[in-house]
Amino acid sequence: MYVADSRARASAHDAVRPRAGRRRAAVAPTVLALGAVSLVTDVSSEMVTAVLPLYLVTGLGLSPLGFGLLDGIYNGFSALVRLVGGHLADRGGGRHKWVAGLGYGVSAVCKPLLLVAHSLTPIGIVLAADRTGKGLRTAPRDALISLSSTPETRGRAFGVHRAMDTAGALLGPLVAFLILRATVDGYDAVFTVSFCVAVLGLLVLVLFVPGGRDAAPARERPTLRAAMGLLRGRDLRRITVCALLLGLATVGDSFVYLLLQRRLGVPDRWFALLPLGTAAVFLLLAVPLGRLADRVGRWTVFLAGHAALFLAYVLLLTSWHGTGLPYLVLALHGGFYAATDGVLMAAASDSVPEALRSSGLAVVQTGQALTRFACSLLFGAAWTVWGDRAALAGAAVALAVCAAFSLTARPKEAVTS
């Protein structure tokens, strides 16, 4: 029903677009709508994430240790879900919105299920389903962002989306703890409100994100083989290979925080706040770095992000204990995300045909997620055998080598006019 509609709406938006847009085109309404959906959905999901440890320990009296054991198996499954999501979204000439909607819907339904899951196995299943929803929606959503913005403003569009997304992630815990305060351990209220917020996100998607694009009738039906065939294209192959290699040298967040605490002596009471530091910097820098990527080239910014990560590793390796050092490491870590997360999607979008946009982005994201997971395993093993310092030094060297390789393998920059 939106095929005809979206056009009318687009022109309506053109009419109300502020004149300042002449100077630099405003972000497409669809991108803002998707940003709003992500913001609201992240409020909902981070509400649950924030109270989950407390709920398990004090609400249910369960021991949360060993809860992460299934993570390994689940990571593989989640990668598969992502590829399937991307593929489904491309079939039938662009069903991105509906596949993304399915993903948001699955995650929303999981919230009330938490009210009835009272032991570890059902809770584990609900969390897995929640992440399946996230896996399903990520590639189609990013495809929608790239399809609804012009190639020369894609970096900014992704930046705006990531900033809104991160804002939601920062707000969620706040909302959850305010509810817990008002209700004294009212976890049921937190989950109910989280569900209501998730439904709101889904509704914004359904109402304000245009559906099937009036794409030219696809000459060939997008198949899995066609999706894999994308990798025969030189640019996407290079991007994917580089993302894979760099992912292999990207130490997981929890390790970074653990190292910050151990090597730089961050006090225990700040430990829980470290991820907030990364998120805040990500939020602040996502738009400026996205715009910069549009201007100076996405690959340049993407690699500069990894240079920031490299610098963070080096700072963690020094034995200098300045008071500002933890802040600097967090700033670099947040900067790394701002310069790479959305920017990689913008860069990859340039080399994937529209008809296969979701599948193409899913391939890059999945590859990156898998090599990052492999890095976590390797890093943990290296830590056991050689200690944290040597493991980190190894990661730093690997990162430098992979970045140098990526510098030579830079894909042809798309239009930057």
Task: In whole angstroms, give the CA distance from residue 395 to residue 378.
Answer: 10
Position among 72, 76, 229, 380 found at the interface with another protein (CB under 8 A): 380
Task: In whole angstroms, give the CA distance from residue 336 to residue 192.
Answer: 35
Evaluate whether 179 touches 186 at the Cβ level (below 8 Å).
yes
Site for another protein in 295-334 (CB under 8 A): none
**Is residue 131 close enough to count as binding another protein by CB under 8 A?**
yes
Contacts 24+ apart (CB under 8 A), 57-66: 58/185, 59/185, 59/187, 60/118, 60/119, 62/119, 62/120
**Is residue 370 close enough to count as binding another protein by CB under 8 A?**
no
Task: In whole angstroms, give the CA distance from residue 254 to residue 256.
Answer: 5
Least distance in angstroms from the C-beta of 397 to another protein? 19
Measured from the Cβ of residue 62, the count of other Cβ atoms closer than 10 Å reads 15
**Is residue 73 close enough to count as binding another protein by CB under 8 A?**
no
**Is residue 184 close enough to count as binding another protein by CB under 8 A?**
yes
The Cα-based distances of 371 to 79, 302, 303 in angstroms read 11, 17, 17
Q: Could you tell me which residues come within 8 angstroms of residue 8 by beta carbon, excluding any fewer than 6 positions away?
A: none
Among residues 351, 141, 343, 350, which one has the least CA distance to residue 230?
A: 351
Site stretch for another protein (CB under 8 A), options 50-58, 154-162, 320-328, 405-413: 50-58
Least distance in angstroms from the C-beta of 389 to another protein? 11
Site for another protein in 102-121 (CB under 8 A): 119-121
Closer CB to another protein, 94 or 173, in the complex: 173
Measured from the Cβ of residue 218, the count of other Cβ atoms closer than 10 Å reads 15
Position among 167, 179, 285, 370 found at the interface with another protein (CB under 8 A): 179
Least distance in angstroms from the C-beta of 308 to another protein? 20
Position among 93, 151, 186, 212 found at the interface with another protein (CB under 8 A): 186
**Is residue 26 close enough to count as binding another protein by CB under 8 A?**
no
Among residues 103, 125, 96, which one has the least CA distance to residue 113?
A: 125
Q: What is the widest separation between alpha-carbon atoms in the chain?
A: 63
Site for another protein in 260-299 (CB under 8 A): 267-269, 271-272, 274-275
Site stretch for another protein (CB under 8 A), options 52-60, 152-160, 316-324, 400-408: 52-60
Least distance in angstroms from the C-beta of 392 to another protein? 11
Among residues 332, 337, 340, which one has the least CA distance to residue 311?
A: 332
Position among 117, 125, 203, 296 found at the interface with another protein (CB under 8 A): 203
Position among 73, 174, 228, 401 found at the interface with another protein (CB under 8 A): 174
Site for another protein in 384-413 (CB under 8 A): 384, 387-388, 391
Instruction: Give the rounded distance of the alpha carbon of 133 from its chain centre.
Output: 13
Least distance in angstroms from the C-beta of 142 to another protein? 16
**Is residue 72 close enough to count as binding another protein by CB under 8 A?**
no
Task: In whole angstroms, give the CA distance from residue 119 to residue 116.
Answer: 9
Site stretch for another protein (CB under 8 A), options 87-95, 255-263, 286-294, 325-333: 255-263
Site stretch for another protein (CB under 8 A), options 90-98, 128-136, 334-342, 399-407: 128-136
Least distance in angstroms from the C-beta of 341 to another protein? 12
Task: In whole angstroms, give the CA distance from residue 67 to residue 26.
Answer: 45
Closer CB to another protein, 140 or 210, in the complex: 210
Least distance in angstroms from the C-beta of 384 to another protein? 4
**Is residue 378 close enough to count as binding another protein by CB under 8 A?**
no
Least distance in angstroms from the C-beta of 342 to another protein? 16
Among residues 290, 244, 232, which one has the least CA distance to residue 406?
A: 244
Closer CB to another protein, 81 or 304, in the complex: 81
Least distance in angstroms from the C-beta of 193 to another protein? 4
Task: In whole angstroms, give the CA distance from residue 250 to residue 378.
Answer: 11
Task: In whole angstroms, give the CA distance from residue 386 to residue 359.
Answer: 40
- Copy the structure tokens of residue 225: 């083989």
**Is residue 255 close enough to count as binding another protein by CB under 8 A?**
yes
